[in-house]
Structure 1
Amino acid sequence: MRVRAVRGATQLEVDEAEHLLERTAELMQAVLKRNDLTADDVISIFLTATPDLRSAFPAAAVRGLGITDVPLMCAQEMDVHGAMPRVVRLMAHVQTPRTRDDIRHVYLHGTTVLRDDLREDDE
């Protein structure tokens, strides 16, 4: 097995706890599904939120999916002028037989513009 990093992002319409938790859970589930992973394959997850998101910790959504024995860390994204608002990003370190080229990064709800080089059918 190899250790790989999987990236992803999602954008929220509003800063409300239920919405943030729902979108973050959707993102995490998509990362697992698109890369044929289970919770046991996850080593750690780093989550960030743009400074305009303050209603909940994104890690709470991951814990809500039953991923309770994996180290998680939340941080605030840099406050860059003109950056896309209301975005949760994640980077999960996983064990997988996939090559780096076979990893499927996940960008939902308009965030594909953050990584045009990775654009797929994520919308």
Structure 2
Amino acid sequence: MNDPDQRLVGLRGATTCHDNTAQAIETATAALIDALVERNSLLPEQIVSLTFSVTADLNACFPAAVARRREGWHSVALLDCQQMAVVGDLPRCIRLLAHVWLPMDRAPTHPYLEEARFLRPDRLSHN
């Protein structure tokens, strides 16, 4: 996108999943993507890439597969990876890093849902 009124921004977000099932992961991933899109007023053509990382206790499906099924997302680069295992990390957590084009005057919003909202106490009032 070569629009001088837009800037490339990295957005972060995370959520937790109640169970290690395909349905639970799909539901949690869809809610996280919906929050990212809605809170930042994103159109598919503004989204360059999304990288999902999941904790090792979530292996029933790929979050990127959920995103890949979204209408208009055929040009979005998607990737899944496993989150680094750290003692005491939040269990059943799905994180994302998105690269998007945002208008210069729009502040980015980083969605932290479910138990993941406690990962960013500085953002609790914004979620």
Aligned match for 1:28, one of 23, 33, 38? 33
TM-score of the two chains, using structure 2 as the length reference: 0.89
1:17 paired with 2:22, answer yes
Aligned position for 1:42: 47
Aligned position for 1:89: 95
Could you tell me which runs of 5 or more consecutive residues in structure 1 were left unpaired when the two chains were aligned.
none
Query: What amino acid does structure 2 have at the position aligned with 1:44?
Result: S
Distance of 2:117 and 2:31 partners within structure 1: 15
- Displacement over 4 Å in runs of 4+: none
Count the aligned residue pairs: 121
Deviation at 1:91, TM superposition (A): 0.8
Matches within 5 A, 1:99-110: 102-110=107-115
Aligned position for 1:70: 76
CA displacement, residues 6-39 of structure 1 (integer Å, 9 cap, x when unaligned) = 1110101110001101110110111010011111
Distance of 1:120 and 1:64 partners within structure 2: 31
Deviation at 1:120, TM superposition (A): 2.8
1:7 paired with 2:12, answer yes
Change in CA separation of 1:8 and 1:37 when aligned onto 2, cut-off 3 Å: same
Query: What amino acid does structure 2 have at the position aligned with 1:108?
Result: L
Change in CA separation of 1:69 and 1:80 when aligned onto 2, cut-off 3 Å: same
Distance of 1:29 and 1:85 partners within structure 2: 22
Distance of 2:65 and 2:12 partners within structure 1: 18
TM-score of the two chains, using structure 1 as the length reference: 0.92
